[in-house]
Structure 1
Amino acid sequence: MDTTLTDPLVGQVLDGRYRVESRIARGGMASVYLALDVRLDRTVALKVMHRSLAEDPQFVRRFIGEAKSVASLSHPNIVQVFDQGADGAHVYLSMEYVPGRTLRDVLRQRGRLPAREALEIVIPALAALGAAHQAGLVHRDVKPENVLLTDDGRVKVVDFGLARAVEASNQTKTGMMIGTIGYMSPEQVTTGTADARSDVYATGIMLFELLTGQQPYGGETPMSIAYRHVHETVPPPSSLVPDIPPSIDALVTAATDKDPARRPADATAMLVAAVEAHRTMPRPGQTGAHATLPPDGRAGADRPATGAHPVPGLPEPTGRTMIQPLPDLATEGSRRRGRRRSGAVWFISVLALVMVAGIAFSGWWFSQGRYTTVPDLTNKNIKVARQEALKAGFAVKIGQGRSDDKVAKDVVLDTQPGAGAEALKGSELTLIPSLGPETIPVPKVEGLSKDDAAAKIAEVGLTVGRVSKTASDTVPRDQVIRTSPMVGKRVRKGGSVDIVVSAGLIMPDVSQMMRDQAEKFLRDKGFNVQIDETADDTPPGTVIAQDPSGGSEVVAGAVVHLTVSKGPDQGWHWPWETDPSQAQPDFVNVPDVRFKDLRDAVHELQAAGFKVKTRRLVGTRRVIEENPTGQQPRGTTITVWH
């Protein structure tokens, strides 16, 4: 849907000055519009705060103060603030309009950038931050969304001071910082404070993302990301992209140190280190001893190409003007002038012949098919890609695979050299396969509290899914009984793990069990068993009652009173032994179904002519005990515990 037609601000004139033409973007705190300043007849970007912030007097006061401070900054890499104001419920900033796109847009379209290009974006951003730090301002929200790349190639930083104004408001912080948690320094997470070194940390994270295409702790819950910022060390970018130079690894490591005191003191200090790392990088097409920047320190891509190529066998131009002394005698000069002219003509002719020969040699070299174009093998199965590369004349090497959330396992992510590059036939072509989505083994959390288990699961990069409760006769209340998937099972990074929590220790029901069986079972579970015997019509040794009763919640080590039958006072007899009217039934051996599957055990007892009653004892699917045993009349009820 066209937002121009639905946004109520489009077409209005704010503060009698800014005619809103269209909406450019919408974020968590504000919307940005293209507007015309009718007083000065210039196009501006109008950032209008969302109503929830504009209605907060504390935010508005801080917003105005921060806007005045930012407006005093004048730097080519900072988006200039022209004006601030309010029109009814609309609080706004009038800013320089910068046609282009954000660094986030670039990352979405291209993925990771070459190291040189990443530095050439970060260096002007650091220059902007350095100017702000010198003026006593801290950005507090450095991220790719706040770095703009203009259509003519300039880098601009935007939104100075806005994060501080939001932090001072009465708005709930939860959700407001979710979008930037990936760039927050440890001190911002733990204390909420930020200084110039916090901006340095965020810039280091942003450089890591430019180099690798991902944040060091991305794809997880905000809580787990914040935890890792505080407790873990950001890995060097080369651990994900092996060809990144050590100097850039060192730059990222220093900028993202957990201790602010060990980081560069401000953006200017980091800028010096970044420029030095850039200076020592090889220019495109150079390696080894020739890998140096021009004397003025600018990248080779910034300097105009001359179109000249070195000729084999001839010395390369030195770039210096050679000055020769003049002859002493004018007559000698006249006499030799002709010889010098003819010598120069001869030299130029020879040079031209050598150059023509070199060009011809180069043409022959290429025309003979010594070079070939690297085919595009990405998104192909690694085996298929290998065969195609071999067919194209390359020696194939399978490189170190990388995890990727979108590309299936054993599919080519990239090649070195890349697709479209010119390479000698027979040279080595490295295929980088996908390892598929990164997976993490489920940690062992049984016996932990629900909160401790959730923290441990988040620590490894997973999230807690459904939490359910169930009764237990072994695990205390609110402790984890098990997880799903089970411990050690690998789950996709960022995936969820369900946990089952104990509803409390439940007293097992051992009534109708024989005394020896019941007493041993309860003692093995840690209960203190006390026996009382009483006369009863049930077979001697049968548990006829227990206290606490089965199914009630108890504490570990509780005392359990079992009441056991010692038979009737006159001795126990089968009913037909005392009542001649009752016929004596057939006696059948009770099958021993202990340790068998519960369903199979029930079927076996029923097939033998018995009735079956099942009781849950430990919750397994196998029979733990049965009673009575031995020979019993057909039709007797056999109780089995599982």
Structure 2
Amino acid sequence: MIGTKLGGRYEILERIGGGGMALVYKGLDILLHRKVAVKMLRQQYVNDEEFIRRFRREAQAAASLSHPNVVSIYDVGQEGDLHYIVMEYIEGKTLNEIIKERAPLPVEEAVHYAAQICDALEHAHHNGIIHRDIKPHNILIGKNGRVKVTDFGIARAATSSTITQTGSVVGSVHYFSPEHAKGTNTGEKSDLYSLGIVMYQMLTGELPFHGESPISVALKHLQEDAEDPRRINPMIPQSLENIILKAVRKKPDERYQSARAMMEDLETCLQPERRNEPKISFHHDDHDDDENTLVLPAIRPNQQVQIFDDEDDEEESGGPGKTESAASKSSPPPKKKKKTGLWITILVLVALLLAGAIYFVQGKVVVAEVPVPNVKTDTLQKAQEKLTAAKLGYEVEEVADPQPAGIVIDQNPQAGMKAKEQTKVKLKVSKGPELKKMISVVNHNVDDAKAQLIQGLGLKEDQISITYRYSEDQEANTVLEQTPREGEDLNPAAAAVKLIASKGKETIKMPALVGLSKEEAISRITVSKLKLGAVTEEPSYKVAKGKVIKQFPYEPDNDVPVGQSIGLIVSSGMPQEAGQMIVNVPLVPSSEGKKSTFKVLVSDAQGDNREYRTETISSPSAVDVKVIVAPDKNAVITVKEDDKVVSVTTRTYQDFLNQQSGSPSPTPTPPQTGGQTSMQQSGGSKLISSGGEEKGKGKDKDKDKDKDKNKDKDD
């Protein structure tokens, strides 16, 4: 059935349950793209026209119910000989599963469930629908705790059809009402009786009546009172026990008159003032027909089952006390007594002969019973060999299962039970896991792709591996490739899906190019998988000719996509207006004959406070200092002797122009010995010196003479 589409609309996904009347599958409504539950009638009912007619009529009537506590019926249809109902799909468990796992349930939880069931029954009864099969198996509990009652249509169709055909009672005998067990008409109060049994089981973990056969359980519903639930679970409040005892009364008149009345009682039973109310009592009528002992005839193969009231038997036979009188009136005449005795003797002999013949035939015909071997987990071949050796037959049904193909996953009858020779043991054999088609997740975001694989195909997160690589076309975290490919068969239980996703474009750290030569910068760009962009030149006071002044558009250490173009601005040398001058700066120790360390600092168009030179001398000396002046930047030469400023010489752009035109340039006044320290300025120079003024003048005169000589030579 898996993969079948019913009505061209409902796709069967997997089997999720089943009962005596139908099998239940999880499906997908392709038109509305929602999950549904599809209930299909078993094959033994497909040829029962009366059953089908009732089933369809009652299912369609149940489809008219619209209530939050009733499973909605969406559709009723037929596909070939398959009759199905499409219902609301509920994520959760049946109440039967919850009872098996956790019973007895907490009082508050049991009351919460029972009140919702009452609400659902009230709605159904108001619409003229009696459930007739209220039991934990037909009550679904959603993950949010909401109760959903199901199987309204099937319950009525099954009960009505079976009673009509066989005169016996079919259903869940542990939850039968007495009138249901007797095969008489059932009504709203029968549903409330069954709900009382369900509450009893929720709060005690036990059923009120047990027996060796369904008939014996049905008789107990008719004849016996259930044990007080508080004797089994003292935690049940008296108010709640009263509700259960009232719901399971034998007489319908003593039960709740409606589901609403029971629901209203449930809504208040846990209030503090009610929890310890007096135990409920009922008037007992020992002569009531429902309380009389019932006679059950022995059951033989192919015999219909009926339940008789012993008073009916007495009426048919004339009743006790009338037997003797009737016998005396019908006694045969004395002359016929001999014939009667003869006939009796003959009949006895015939009966004995028949009994002997039957015993003999049974000895020959009765088939021996043999134990059923355990073949679970065996291969099909090995299971067949075991069953053949045990003188048993087999039937094979292949089903999808995580077990490897050819392994027996279930058997019926089970191992250890006895079966007659040649009985066919039903084997469920794995045909391997159900395969699904791989979907496409290429070009999807990684998180979305994982969600689709987990939810759509049933994979687990650890079955999905992801690796990343750079991509020029796709943004980060986009799936580029997948394995398996779209449409390939995939086993959700063991598949390994590999995804390759984008890391985005590859990036590198931008190298520092400023200060490098043009050739070095271009080489660095090439090595870094970048492209050389525009290269321009411009003059610079501070950067030597041929070296990089600026890089763009990325600064050093920026993340740069591979292949980006990088532009350069390269120094073309000094600007045309730059003034290069050589200034002679005297260095005169403050103490003659004693060593002093002089440090020369320069601030000009090339930068500020550059350490130009350091000299250690013990006698007067001088150094030539190269400076560059600009129209807006003077040159300042600072001389420090043992970290103390001893002279400051300034050259302006006008000095440069004067030098260019041949005008005399100012010269610094040499330091003088002795006397006070003085500050002199000449031609834009500043001189801080110590010593005599005459010595300084003499030196100046000598310098002037030297200049005149040089001038004459030039002429």
Q: TM-score range by the shorter chain?
A: 0.3 to 0.5
Q: Taking CA–CA contacts closer than 8 Å with sequence separation of 6 or more, which of the two structures ends up with the larger relative contact order?
A: 1
After TM superposition, the score normalised by the length of structure 2 is 0.38
After TM superposition, the score normalised by the length of structure 1 is 0.42
More strand by share: 2
Which of these two proteins has the greater Rg computed from alpha carbons?
Answer: 2
